[in-house]
Structure 1
Amino acid sequence: MKSKLSSKSLAKAGLKLFPLILLLTACNSSVRPSFLKEDITRAVKDICKKEYSLDTVTTLSGNTLWVYLPLENIVSKPDKPEKYTERFLLEDQKNLLEEKVLKVNYSVRPTTEKEKQQEMVLDKSVNEKIFNILQVIRRVLFSMGSPKQDIPQFFCIVTADIRNGFEIKQIFYFADLKKLSYSFISQTEYQHRIIQETAISAEIIGDKTGDHLKYRDITLEEFIADQIQSRIKLKFQKPEVEANADIDKEVLKIVAYTLEAYQFKNFSLLEILNLVTGKKIILNQTAIFADSKK
C-alpha cells in the first residue's frame, strides 16, 4: 500500500471497523476478582504485550481508561469494495448539554441518489488487534475486586496510523459492554452505542507514545450527546431511511430513543436545530417522547 493516502479515503476507513469486533464480543465472562483500580493500566498493558505482543500506552483519567495503539498502514483498498447508496449529504456537528438544555444540531441534506463503493477498509489484522485489546479490557474490568465506583465507566481505544497521520478513536460505555456480554442488548444495538471518530493530523506521524492526545475524563452527558450525533450519521449515511423521509422527525426519534435507552433525565429542555432549513424545535421531557411517537 502506498504511504500517502488521501484525507478523504482515510476519513472513510473507519466505517468498516465495527463488524469483526461486535461479532466476537458477545460472550459471557465469569472470573474471580483480581484487579484493583491502581492495577488497571499496568494490567491492560502487560496482558496486551504478553498474550498478543501488542505495544500499547494506557492511561487512566478519572473514570475513563485510555488505550493507545500505534501502528503503521492500518487501512487498505478492499479486494471487493462494498457498494452502498448515497441519498443524503451530512456535515459533522457537535451536540452539547448546556445549562440543562440539550442542544442537538444537524446538517442533513437530501441529494440525488447514486451508488457508491467503499474506497478503503481497516486492515483485517488491525481489526483483530483492536478486538484483542477490547477483550483484555473486558477481562480486567470484569475481574476487578474493588468497589463498583472504582471501575472505569468509559474506555477509549485509539488506533493510530503513525506513518500516515490517521487515527480511529472508539469510546465505549462499560454498562453497555456488560449488557452485551449478558445478552441484554443485541450486537446491532451495541454497535450504535459505540462512539467512533476519525482524525487526520501531522502530530500523529511518528507518535509512538500518544503525546498528541488530550486525555480526559468522559462524562455520561458528553457520551449521550455524541451518541445522538453518531446515530444520526448511521441512519442517514447507510442510509436507513428513504429519500423523502421527514428528517426532523427522524432526528427526534433518534433523540428520544437514545435518552430512553439510558434513562437519561439530567436536562430540562431539548433544542434541536436543523442547520439546513434553520428550523428549531424546543421541547420539554414529556413532549419529546410524545412527539417522537406521532
Structure 2
Amino acid sequence: MGKRAVTARPKLIFTLLLTVLFFGIGCSGCAPTYPKEKLEEALIDVCRKEYALDVQAKLVDKTLVVFIPLDEFYDTKLDVLPKAVEKIGDVIQVTSRVVFSTDAEIDFYMVIAADVKVTAVEIVSIQYINDLRKLVNGWIGRDEYRKRVLWERNFDPQYLKDAEFKFEVEPVRLPEFLAKQIAQRINLEFESLLEYKLQVKSAFDREKFQFYFTLLASDDRDFREKFLPVILREVVLVVNAYKFQDFKGVEVANLFTKKSVFIEAGDLEEYVSLNKK
C-alpha cells in the first residue's frame, strides 16, 4: 500500500507555518557557503550540530528534499505536538538558510516530517525559492507568503517498517505547484463557509497544457453560480501574481453531475469580471 492522502487541517498547518517561518534566514546576497557538491551533507551536518536532529536530504533535480523522521509527532487528538513543531521549524529554518547560501540551482524545497513510530502520518511543506526571496526583500507580505506555501498531510504505512526515506519523489514544477496552491486557497475559502463541505482537487495537464480542478457538488446551479466563479477568480489571482502564461485554459469538472466547464486562458479575466459577486 502506498501513500494515502489524509484530510489536512489548514488552520493547524498554517499555525505551524507561522511558528517557524519568520526566523532569520540569512543574507540572500552572501557568497555561497554550501557548494552544490556538499549541499546535502552540509544540511544534514548543520541540523545535527545545531539542533541535534538527524535528517536525510537529497537534491532531486532543482528541488531540495529534506526528510525528518520523528518518534513523537501527534497527541491523542492527532494534533502536532509542540516539540514536533519546534523540530520542524528548526529544519525549515536551516533549509531556508542553506538555499540562500549555495551555488546549486534550487527552485523549490520540500520538507517532509513523518511519524515513524505510531501513526505513519507525514506532513509535507513545499516552498518556492522565489517566493521566499520576495518575502525576505519585502516584496510580498507575510499573509500572502503564508498562502503560497503548500502543506499536505498523507498516510504511508511504510514509515512504520523502514524509517530510511527512499526519496522516490518527483521534483516540483511550477505549473503543478500553482495548481496545488490554487486548490489550497480555494479550500481555505470554502472552509470558512460552513454550509459548503467540499474539497477541490487540482492538477496540471501537461498534454493539454491546462489547469484541471474537480469537486463534488450535488446542485449544478451552485456549481456554476457559487463554486466556479470562486475557482476561476483564484486562478486569475495566482497566475497574474506569478506572471504565469504557459497554459491554454482551465477545466473545472463536477464529478457528481459528470459535467465540466472549460474557459480559455484569454477569456478568464472577462469571465471573472462578469461573475463578480
Per the TM superposition, whether the score is higher than 0.5 is yes
Q: What are the residue-to-residue correspondences of 1:10-159 with 2, within 5 Å?
A: 11-12=7-8, 15-26=11-22, 29-30=26-27, 31-77=30-76, 119-144=77-102, 146=103, 150-159=104-113
Shift of the alpha carbon at 1:217? Answer: 1.6
Q: Whole-Å Cα distance in 1 between the matches of residues 195 and 246 of structure 2? A: 33
Deviations 1:24-72 (A, max 9, x none): 4335632443222222211111100000001001011100111000012
Aligned with 2:177: secondary structure? helix
Aligned with 1:121: secondary structure? coil
Shift of the alpha carbon at 1:183? Answer: 2.2
Higher RCO (Cα < 8 Å, 6 or more apart): 1
- 229 and 130 in structure 1: CA distance in 2 versus 1, 3 angstrom threshold: same
Deviations 1:187-217 (A, max 9, x none): 2222221222111122111432213x52322
Shift of the alpha carbon at 1:241? Answer: 8.1
Query: Does structure 1 conserve the Cα–Cα contact (< 8 Å) formed by 2:17 and 2:146?
Result: no
Q: What are the residue-to-residue correspondences of 1:153-172 with 2, within 5 Å?
A: 153-163=107-117, 164-172=119-127
Which range moves more in the overlay, 244-253 or 54-63?
Answer: 244-253
Residue segments in structure 2 that go unaligned for 5+ positions in a row: 197-221
Q: Whole-Å Cα distance in 1 between the matches of residues 10 and 50 of structure 2? A: 26
Match for 1:276 among 253, 256, 275?
A: 256
Q: Whole-Å Cα distance in 1 between the matches of residues 40 and 25 of structure 2? A: 23
- Counterpart in the other structure of 2:213: none
- Counterpart in the other structure of 2:175: 221
- Counterpart in the other structure of 2:163: 208
Q: Whole-Å Cα distance in 2 between the matches of residues 269 and 11 of structure 1? A: 28
Q: Which amino acid aligns with 2:249?
A: L
Shift of the alpha carbon at 1:12? Answer: 4.5
Q: Whole-Å Cα distance in 1 between the matches of residues 83 and 106 of structure 2? A: 28
Q: Whole-Å Cα distance in 1 between the matches of residues 10 and 261 of structure 2? A: 32
Q: Whole-Å Cα distance in 2 between the matches of residues 197 and 176 of structure 1? A: 18
Query: Does structure 1 conserve the Cα–Cα contact (< 8 Å) formed by 2:63 and 2:107?
Result: yes
Aligned with 2:262: secondary structure? strand
What is the Cα-based RMSD across aligned positions, in Å? Answer: 2.5
Aligned with 2:72: secondary structure? coil
- Counterpart in the other structure of 1:174: 129
Deviations 1:216-247 (A, max 9, x none): 2211111112222222222212x168768811
Give percent identity, aligned residues only: 28
TM-score (norm 2): 0.78
Q: Which amino acid aligns with 2:151?
A: Q
Aligned with 2:256: secondary structure? coil
* Total equivalences in the alignment: 240
Deviations 1:245-265 (A, max 9, x none): 811111111111111111111
Query: Does structure 2 conserve the Cα–Cα contact (< 8 Å) formed by 1:64 and 1:156?
Result: yes
Q: Which amino acid aligns with 1:175?
A: N
Q: Whole-Å Cα distance in 2 between the matches of residues 242 and 191 of structure 1? A: 25
TM-score (norm 1): 0.74
- Counterpart in the other structure of 2:233: 253
Shift of the alpha carbon at 1:20? Answer: 4.1
Q: Whole-Å Cα distance in 1 between the matches of residues 114 and 181 of structure 2? A: 22
Aligned with 1:122: secondary structure? coil
Q: Whole-Å Cα distance in 1 between the matches of residues 92 and 78 of structure 2? A: 23
Q: Which amino acid aligns with 1:29?
A: G
Match for 1:230 among 164, 184, 196?
A: 184
- 13 and 247 in structure 1: CA distance in 2 versus 1, 3 angstrom threshold: closer
Shift of the alpha carbon at 1:74? Answer: 0.8
